């Protein structure tokens, strides 16, 4: 099956509430969608880069540029998901752009063969338990209200975004209000240095599942040192960009890995990291990048693999958006159903998609 052409579509999705992390505040999700068209089916991929290079070096305009200038021209005309990674490998980095293109090829291919993402990736469950990521708030009272509402909705695990000046106090307050049975973890998005080790050790009192990315992306050696001076397990996010990086585990830099398909260059690399970690008895969970229903569908499929033993940031659509571009993902007893239709198993709703689209570009192959 030959690819006819590829559409790059920019959409602007207003968030239900501003999302504040240690690196900034977002009010609108600026998303690049990739649509691969063939005579028999089309496939969708979502690029998770942010509009600014604050989480990683990637950003949406750069992703669109590298896709149109280098990645799409290098793509084999024949629709073959396994061939995408090798064809794009000569181009360094730009993993989020590569992941979106590979996902779109994979979706088109699976829609033709009738297989779901979940089945193709090797999922062993038909629903996944869901966690929620809670931004930095203006006050502890506001945080407790927000967490309370998510717990009411059924989320089985809560992750608090932390940073210098917003760490021990909010974590203690949430632990005291919601009790020791609440599965609780924190995410610093690289906001600390090893000089903060004694301060971070104060979080040991709160029985956290893990602390995610306390130090800078490239501070693997310091993460290994920090791991020896705090009891809370360290989970890496930003630091792990490939299966090769996941070998950081063997350095003692972390004992848990957050897998985000975009960050590591695609769902196939994500599966390789899963397999590696599983073989070493290292827990993994599926991260989130405020995806629309398109990226969310694929993440939920990935999270259904057997090594994903911790709840992911695979929240319901309404956590982020009043109106999703697909039929909304909704929590049922703290779980999301894994789509089982061909490919992603969900389709964008044309009217909604048109309303949020800010630009489209057609690239003929
Ligand atoms: C994380 N995500 O695990 C990220 C980072 C993050 C769900 O906590 C716009 C787009 C804003 C992507 C803010 C969660 C974002 C973003 C934070 C990703 O580190
Ligand atoms: Mg993170």
Mean pLDDT of 83-93: 98
Q: Ligand 2 centroid to 214 CA: how many Å? A: 9
Residues catalogued as catalytic: 161, 260
Give the Å distance between the CA of 236 and the centre of ligand 2. 8
Which residues lie with the beta carbon below 6 Å from any ligand 1 atom? 19, 21, 26, 29, 50, 55, 133, 187, 189, 237, 287-290, 313
Provide the strand spans (E) within the chain: 5-21, 24-37, 42-47, 127-129, 131-134, 157-161, 183-187, 211-212, 234-236, 256-259, 283-286, 335-337, 357-364
Q: How confident is the model over 259-294, as pLDDT tens digits? A: 999 999 999 999 999 999 999 989 999 999 999 999
pLDDT category at 248 given cuts 50, 70, 90 is confident
Residue 199 CB coordination number (10 Å)? 13
Average pLDDT of the chain?
97
Ligand nearest to the CA of 20: 1
What six digits make up the tokens of 118?
A: 């979940």
* pLDDT > 90? residue 250: no
User: Is the pTM of the predicted complex or chain greater than 0.85?
Assistant: yes
Please count the helices (runs of H) and the strands (runs of E) in the chain: 13, 13
Question: How much is the pLDDT for 304?
Answer: 98
What does the pLDDT read at residue 247?
A: 82
Query: In this structure, which residue's CA is closest to atom 19 in ligand 1?
Result: 189
Minimal-distance CA residue to ligand 1 atom 11? 26
Percent of the chain with pLDDT over 90: 97
Which pLDDT tens digit goes with each residue over 309-334?
Answer: 999 999 999 999 999 999 999 999 99
**Could you tell me the distance, in angstroms and rounded to a whole number, from the CA of residue 77 to the centre of ligand 1?**
34
Quote the pLDDT of residue 129. Answer: 98
At 249, the pLDDT band (50, 70, 90 cuts) reads: confident
């Amino acid at each position: 099956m030959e690819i006819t052409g590829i559409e790059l579509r920019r959409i602007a999705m207003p968030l239900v509430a501003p999302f504040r992390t240690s690196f900034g505040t977002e009010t609108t999700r600026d998303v690049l969608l990739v649509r691969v068209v063939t005579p028999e089916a089309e496939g969708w991929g979502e690029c998770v880069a942010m509009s600014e290079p604050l989480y990683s070096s990637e950003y949406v305009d750069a992703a669109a540029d590298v896709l149109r200038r280098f990645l799409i021209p290098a793509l084999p005309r024949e629709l073959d998901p396994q061939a995408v990674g090798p064809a794009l490998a000569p181009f360094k980095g730009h993993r989020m752009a590569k992941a979106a293109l590979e996902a779109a090829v994979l979706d088109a291919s699976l829609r033709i063969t009738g297989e779901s993402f979940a089945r193709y990736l090797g999922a062993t469950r038909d629903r996944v338990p869901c966690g929620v990521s809670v931004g930095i708030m203006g006050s502890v009272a506001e945080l407790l209200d927000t967490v309370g509402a998510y717990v009411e909705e059924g989320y089985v695990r809560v992750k608090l975004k932390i940073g210098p000046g917003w760490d021990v106090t909010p974590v203690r307050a949430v632990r005291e209000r919601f009790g020791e049975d609440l599965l609780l973890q924190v995410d610093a998005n690289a906001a600390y240095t090893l000089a903060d080790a004694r301060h971070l050790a104060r979080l040991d009192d709160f029985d956290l599942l893990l602390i995610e990315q306390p130090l800078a992306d490239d501070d693997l050696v310091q993460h290994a040192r920090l791991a020896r001076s705090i009891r809370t397990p360290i989970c890496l996010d930003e630091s792990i960009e490939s299966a090769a990086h996941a070998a950081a585990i063997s350095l003692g830099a972390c004992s848990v890995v957050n897998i985000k398909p975009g960050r590591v260059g695609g769902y196939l690399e994500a599966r390789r990291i899963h397999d590696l970690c599983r073989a070493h008895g290292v827990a993994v969970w599926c991260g989130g990048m405020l995806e629309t229903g398109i990226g969310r569908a694929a993440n939920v499929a990935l999270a259904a693999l057997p090594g994903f033993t911790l709840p992911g940031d695979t929240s319901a659509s309404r956590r982020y958006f009043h109106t999703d571009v697909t039929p909304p993902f909704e929590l049922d007893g703290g779980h999301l159903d894994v789509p089982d239709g061909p490919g992603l198993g969900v389709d964008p709703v044309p009217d909604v998609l048109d309303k949020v689209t800010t630009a489209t570009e057609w690239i003929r192959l």
